[in-house]
Amino acid sequence: MRKYIIACLLVIAALAEPGPVFSGEQASIERGYAIALAPGHEETTAQGNRPRQQSINQGPVAVYLIPLADFPESLAAELARSMSRELDLHVKASVRLPPLAVDTLPGSNQLVADEIMTQGLNASARLLGVTPETYRVFLTTSDINERSGNFRFQFSRHAPMLRSSVVSLARLVEYANRRPVLTQHSLPRLHKLTKRAIGENYFGWQRSSNPDDLMYAPLMSVADLDRMGSDHTEAPVVEHGNRLMQMLAQGRFKECAEAFHYPHEYSPTELEDDKGAIAYSLTHLIEEIGGIENIQHKLSADDGMLAFDFGGGSFEYWTEHPKPVRTVTVNYEAKSGRDGLVYFHLTYVQFNSQWQVRGFRFQLPAARMGAKERMIQIASQIQPPARR
């Protein structure tokens, strides 16, 4: 018997309050002081893991590293070169901004990180190569925090809606004779935080529970920062999801079906049946909604959705099978020919060091007029015919 399933027809996602516009890396140690960069430090070059390509450093700037008035321009420039090599991206450093009139938290020397970004956006608006898609990372040696002071300090803070982050060097330095000094430990920490900010907010990398991963969270101390690696091991999942969504838009449904996970104990006939069922559902889903275009990767799933899921295997298989080593979700928005904006939620599992699709979820906003009836109609079209 073929073990293909369509799971959770019309799962209504729980409505929740929208998350904060700003997010940050925080830690639980006592509030400190503003730091001044010690003069005469030795600069080192972070080694990239990709060959540099001249073509990426032409045209619009993808990411700008923007030093505030207290941050060395030479360090920002070297950091930009390193990010360009490692991320294969046009990352450019600017000259220092003029001093910004940023508030400090009462009773401390911590700058309000959100103000750095809002004021910094205006101050950097005329930089060469800036476009509405450019992500800006502001660099400072000052200690930072969110306005509420909810955390004792923050390594960095992010405003995805403003396409901006701020990264602080304040907690990354070592001390000699009670003076902050850049050392061989400080620069890798700065490198990780900057790459992490770009990865999360430009590429959509998700945070990880793996303490060795660049995207490890929660990041609570310098010890956590030193322990975690400089690479995001889950980045290939986003690339995999991007390729799958492009194949889906191009009508390459059989190739998409190859990306799913299937039980290893399947016979050849069962495996082909299940792959065929997945391809059938993907084909009829995309045809029913009139095709998709303008696919955009989203950093998180939206709330208040009607959804249905399908995937390889059976309920029994996924109930009894040992949990995969790792699970990662990737979210997309696309424009469809018949239903306007539609949403996709891909769940990946890692087996034997390979990422495979465990679940494919299609979503429509629950508040959309007639959404429930439309979802029932779509779900009825994608159910494969029973095989004898």
57 pLDDT tier (thresholds 50, 70, 90): low
Q: Where do the domains of the chain lie?
A: 5-15+236-382, 31-232
pLDDT in the model for residue 271:
95
Assigned CATH topology for domain 5-15+236-382: Nuclear Transport Factor 2; Chain: A, (3.10.450)
What is the token pair recorded at 126?
Answer: 């005329």
331, 297 contact by CB (below 8 A): yes
Any idea how long the chain is?
Answer: 388
* Choice between 259 and 148, residue whose per-residue pLDDT is larger: 259
Domain spanning 31-232, CATH class: alpha beta
* Choice between 122 and 4, residue whose per-residue pLDDT is larger: 122
How far is the C-alpha of 344 from the C-alpha of 46, rounded, in Å? 37
pLDDT in the model for residue 39:
31
Q: Residue 1: helix, strand or coil by DSSP?
A: coil
Q: What is the mean predicted confidence (pLDDT) over 182-202?
A: 91
How far, CA to CA in Å, does 294 sit from each of 5, 174, 200, 339, 341?
29, 47, 21, 14, 10
Sequence-distant (6+) residues with CB within 8 A of 182 are 37, 38, 41, 42, 173, 174
Give the lowest-confidence range in 65-79, 168-182, 236-250, 317-331.
317-331
CB neighbourhood size of 78 (10 A):
19
CB neighbour class for 108 (10 Å; exposed up to 12, middle 13-18, buried from 19): middle
Beta strand 23-27 pairing with 153-159: antiparallel
How far is the C-alpha of 352 from the C-alpha of 348, rounded, in Å? 13
- State what percent of residues in the chain have pLDDT above 90: 56
pLDDT in the model for residue 174:
84
Q: For residue 218, say if its preceding peptide bond is cis, omega within 30 degrees of 0.
A: yes
Q: What is the mean predicted confidence (pLDDT) over 145-151?
A: 86
pLDDT of 26 strictly over 60: no
335-357 burial by CB neighbour count: b if 16+ within 10 A, else e?
ebeebeebbbbbbbbbeeeebbb
Amino acid at 201: N
Per-residue model confidence as pLDDT tens digits over 116-126: 999 999 999 99
Phi, psi of 36 (to 5 degrees): -110, 135
pLDDT in the model for residue 255:
96
Per-residue model confidence as pLDDT tens digits over 37-50: 333 333 222 223 33
Terminal-to-terminal C-alpha distance of the chain: 8
pLDDT in the model for residue 36:
32
pLDDT of 111 strictly over 90: yes
118, 147 contact by CB (below 8 A): no
Tell if the pTM clears 0.75, that is, is over it: no
What is the token pair recorded at 31?
Answer: 């509030």
pLDDT in the model for residue 55:
43
How far is the C-alpha of 34 from the C-alpha of 29, rounded, in Å? 15
Domains 5-15+236-382 and 31-232 alike in fold:
no
pLDDT of 226 strictly over 60: yes
58 pLDDT tier (thresholds 50, 70, 90): low
* Residue whose pair of structure tokens reads 């099978």 in the numeric block: 321
Q: What is the mean predicted confidence (pLDDT) over 116-138?
A: 94
How far, CA to CA in Å, does 89 sit from each of 135, 202, 203, 204?
12, 10, 11, 14
Phi, psi of 74 (to 5 degrees): -65, -35
pLDDT in the model for residue 375:
95
pLDDT of 3 strictly over 50: no
Phi, psi of 238 (to 5 degrees): -65, -45
Q: What is the mean predicted confidence (pLDDT) over 198-203?
A: 89
Q: What is the mean predicted confidence (pLDDT) over 146-152?
A: 86
Q: What is the mean predicted confidence (pLDDT) over 179-194?
A: 89
Sequence-distant (6+) residues with CB within 8 A of 298 are 204, 331, 332, 333, 343
* Choice between 182 and 253, residue whose per-residue pLDDT is larger: 253
pLDDT of 319 strictly over 90: no
How far is the C-alpha of 115 from the C-alpha of 112, rounded, in Å? 6
pLDDT in the model for residue 374:
96
Give the lowest-confidence range in 75-89, 139-153, 224-238.
224-238
- 107-121, 196-210, 325-339: which is most confident: 107-121
127, 64 contact by CB (below 8 A): yes
pLDDT in the model for residue 24:
52
Q: Residue 267: helix, strand or coil by DSSP?
A: coil
pLDDT in the model for residue 1:
35
pLDDT of 367 strictly over 90: yes
Q: Give the DSSP H or E segment for 64.
A: strand 63-67
Give the lowest-confidence range in 12-26, 61-75, 295-309.
12-26
pLDDT in the model for residue 358:
92
